[in-house]
């Protein structure tokens, strides 16, 4: 099954906590408003539901944290790190938290574009910047 939304790589170190135990679950690797990939220390059983809290890297839309339910869809051990990569479907995200997640993802996208363009300037050619990945400049 293909993802309909583009997953944005997390540029911040964001830890997701179990809302019931307040214990850390894992670190977000990428995210959309409908799902996320996390790196966790212990395996998570697919189909299990986790009630989550995530502290934000600063205030976003006036809030410092976001809440959501996540259903584990898959989990597999990463032999390179010894940790587990796991995918989740976000469930029951209210309108406020959905807007916060959207804004967080938008900020990640902006920072990713800035990094692409900075590397293009450093290489001495704006032709290698973000827009050149979308459009063909000078092509006839």
Range 111-140 average pLDDT: 61
pLDDT tens for 20-66 read 999 999 999 888 888 999 999 999 999 999 999 999 988 999 999 99
What pLDDT band is residue 13 in, cutting at 50, 70 and 90?
confident
* Residues 19, 69 contacting (CB under 8 angstroms): no
- Which CATH number fits the domain 8-134, given the four candidates 2.40.10.220, 3.40.190.120, 3.40.50.300, 2.60.120.620? 2.40.10.220
Query: Model's pTM, two decimal places?
Result: 0.73
The single-letter DSSP state of residue 7 is P
What gap in Å lies between CA 39 and CA 88, rounded to an integer?
Answer: 11
Geometric angle at alpha carbon 85, from 36 and 21, rounded to 5°? 70
Helical H segments across 8-139, by residue range: 95-122, 130-134
């Amino acid at each position: 099954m293909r993802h309909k939304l583009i997953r944005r790589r997390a540029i911040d170190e964001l830890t997701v906590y179990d809302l019931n135990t307040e214990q850390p679950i894992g670190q977000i690797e990428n995210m959309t408003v409908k799902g996320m990939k996390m790196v966790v220390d212990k395996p998570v059983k697919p189909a299990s539901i986790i009630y989550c809290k995530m502290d934000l890297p600063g205030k976003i839309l006036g809030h410092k944290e976001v809440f959501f339910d996540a259903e584990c869809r898959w989990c597999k051990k990463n032999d390179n790190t010894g940790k587990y990569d796991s995918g989740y479907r976000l469930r029951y995200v209210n309108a406020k938290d959905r807007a916060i997640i959207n804004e967080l993802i938008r900020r990640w996208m902006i920072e990713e574009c800035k990094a692409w363009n900075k590397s293009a300037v450093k290489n001495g050619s704006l032709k290698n910047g973000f827009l050149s990945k979308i459009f063909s400049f000078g092509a006839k």
